Structure 1
């Protein structure tokens, strides 16, 4: 049957097909969407890029998107590219027909026919239940606004500790009554 690698690759392609037109998704975002590690998703995306399914954009605002329309991308093309399905040898007419071999060829034909007529777009739509993060607006000159770093409000040394001691706020006497 289908390997986990192919299953995860198809899931990643469906997530990318759900993106609004012109948007990209980073490896980390994609990994969180499909529930895999970032390193494994990177290896999947490398294989998908080498076979022409996705393209990468470098730099700020970059990421991955589909290299072709999801309506043209069959599931069988992904299976054939990432995990070539072993072909059983053809049956010879004079040889004794092995039931297992005949059944295997029949299953292969049906699987190939079904997956050849099943496209990534069949499982992807922009209104899907996938919670895709919205990207920050990219400025005209190609850079995203920088996120301000979080800095804790704490003393820089032990000598400044007395300046940062939080004094409890006294509650009115009426608040203490039970």
Structure 2
């Protein structure tokens, strides 16, 4: 398997972090967006969206980061990162959808200094804070959900959010920042 990635972005980082955390047998290829590798005809055949990440497994090409996380967790049940009961899986899916639709828009609103940013943070970071009450991780135990959400709130993407009113989120981020896969995917400019 091969992952085409562009590490600094949260969608790429979440997949790379998961792969690295568990030492999964996936080759990680760092794409050159300056060279516009994602716009080549060959790449667009694999991913018509022309974005990263993209996972290639034989003749199967999978794009969309949360779909890739689910696929890898399904291929590697030994990681224990994907609930196998219907209720647990539905809860997992709920948080993956929440990240893809609500959290991403909150982060965008904060970075753009949108008029709705404060309300978006209060709602969405507040919801996450409530979920983390008496829990180490979003679903209780570490799961793909933590790998999906954390990269949006770690680093430059989440720096503009004041986490002071959200102690459960702060504590969770501290735990996520200690995960081997998260640590391994911290963006470092070349030569640093």
Q: Same fold (TM over 0.5)?
A: no
Output the TM-score relative to the length of structure 1. Answer: 0.25
Output the TM-score relative to the length of structure 2. Answer: 0.24
